[in-house]
Amino acid sequence: MSKILMPNRRQFLMNSAGLAGAAALSGLLPAGAARAAGLTVGFIYVGPKDDFGYNQSHAEGAAAVKAIEGVTVVEEEQVPETVDVQKTMESMIGFDGATLLFPTSFGYFDPHILAVAPKNPNVRFEHCGGLWTPANPTNVGSYFGYIGMGQYLNGIAAGYATKSKKIGFVAAKPIPQVLLNINSFLLGARAVDPTITCQVIFTGEWSLAVKEAEATNALADQGVDVITCHVDGPKVVMETGAGRGMYLCGYHANQSALAPEKYLTGAEWNWAKVYTDMVKTTLAGGTIENFVRGGLADGFIKMSPLGPAVTPEARTRFEAVQAEIMKGGFAAIKGPLKDNKGNVVATEGQSFVETDVALESMDYLVEGVVGSTS
């Protein structure tokens, strides 16, 4: 400590020299001087990487990439969807020599990746969210997974666990991805018992712990006894729900450690597989496809191991439906189906399989969901 408070002359000179040296070096050498041999991969997260949710799922993918021979991983968390992320990408390219970037938040794509990518044609940008079109730069790619199927399976587990026939969903914003998850969750539960209803509460923000806790408590007060969510970090919902005696279905990552007795299962991203594949392709000199999608069968998503509260009967059904989904072509949204305002969303015989693009502009909640999109 005394070193810091009262440096002697020699230490002072050393530190000053170090500072001056760093300044001189950074001024003289090209920014990529510190570049390591092999491939440097950058991961950028919008929130904390230990959030038990969206960001953690990507950080788990990054951890898998770290284990690959010849790969250096650099990470940065809590990067807002502003000019911050543009500068973080450029900083990873310039200071760390990264040539493959995974800016993982949905809002990083337009305008931020689209602004930085054309200036860095030798860097590959892989964005999670599935927005790439052929009009976008060719060194940009996007990937996403059909996680609605995971929420459908959550619904199967919830359908067997609920006593009150009321299940609940804490949601961030009424956007298509979230609406598909809510609808899938209810339809999974209704495949078990058609009288089940799902109460949804929107918090309005991706990460707002206080409102998430309030919403969970409000659902518990209304008699909801199984809960899931779509917010960035499900930790608050899971802990609050368990505290109120509800069964839990996870989302984004595995939250069973938060309440092992109450945790039924969860819809998880499996970015470890996706990222490992992409990095290995790059190392082998190949090119990652610009538009990549996958579901359960492709290993893009996976289910948390079933918890102790799942009955043998539920387990059998769960595994049967999972096997069905693995075959491909499964549709959770199929007719006859109405939205919760009485409008027909699918006629008799009409079905929307998981890969159907029409699902990506979903703007309704199906019959049986209690709540409103606006």
Where does this chain bind other proteins (CB under 8 A)?
A: 1, 3-5, 15, 18-19, 22-23, 26-27, 31, 48, 74-84, 87-88, 90-92, 94-96, 106-107, 110-111, 129, 173-177, 204, 360-361, 374
Helices and strands, counts by H and E, the chain: 11, 17
Shortest distance, position 18 Cβ to other proteins, whole Å: 6
- Cα(13)–Cα(125) distance, rounded to whole angstroms? 43
**Distances from the Cα of 224 to the Cαs of 137, 161, 166, 258, 265, in angstroms?**
47, 11, 5, 19, 17
Q: What span, in angstroms and rounded, lies between the C-alpha atoms of 362 and 261?
A: 34
Distance in angstroms (rounded) separating the CA atoms of residues 121 and 273:
26
- Measured CA to CA in angstroms, residue 99 lies from 16, 89, 272, 347, 372 at distances of 33, 10, 19, 48, 44
Instruction: Specify the length of the chain in residues.
Output: 374
Q: What is the closest distance, in whole angstroms, from the C-beta atom of residue 43 to other proteins in the complex?
A: 10
Identify which of residues 27 and 285 has a Cβ nearer to other proteins in the complex: 27
Q: How far is CA 93 from CA 40, 70, 113, 124, in A?
A: 9, 17, 13, 10
| Residue (of 265, 225, 230, 267) closest to 242 by Cα position | 225
Cβ 168 to other proteins shortest distance, Å:
22
Q: What is the DSSP string of 6-65?
A: S--HHHHHHHHHHHHHHHHHHHHS-GGGGPPSSEEEEEE-SS-TTSSSHHHHHHHHHHHH
Nearer to other proteins, 131 or 297 (CB): 131
CB nearer other proteins, residue 29 or residue 344:
29
Of 31 and 370, the one with the shorter C-beta distance to other proteins is 31
Report the nearest approach of other proteins to the CB of residue 98 (Å). Answer: 10
**What are the b/e assignments for 124-148, b being 16+ CB within 10 Å?**
bbbbbbbbbeeebbebbbbbbbbbb
- What is the nearest approach in angstroms of other proteins to the Cβ of residue 83? 5
Give min distance, CB of 236 to other proteins, in A: 19
CA distance 226 to 164: 9
Least Å distance between CB 241 and other proteins?
26
Q: At 240, list the tokens.
A: 């609050």
- Specify the residue, 122 or 361, whose C-beta has the smaller distance to other proteins: 361
Nearer to other proteins among residue 205 and residue 324 (C-beta)? 205
Query: Would you state the torsion angle of the CA atoms of residues 22, 26, 27, 31, taken in this order, to the nearest 10 degrees?
Result: 180
Nearer to other proteins, 81 or 298 (CB): 81
* Nearer Cβ to other proteins (17/320): 17
Whose Cβ is closer to other proteins: residue 96's or residue 225's? 96
Other C-beta atoms lying within 10 Å of the C-beta of residue 27:
7
| Dist CA 159 CA 363 (whole Å) | 24
Cβ proximity to other proteins, 82 vs 222, nearer residue: 82
Shortest CB 91 distance to other proteins, Å = 5
- To other proteins, the closest distance from the beta carbon of 36 in angstroms equals 13
Q: What is the nearest approach in angstroms of other proteins to the Cβ of residue 12?
A: 10
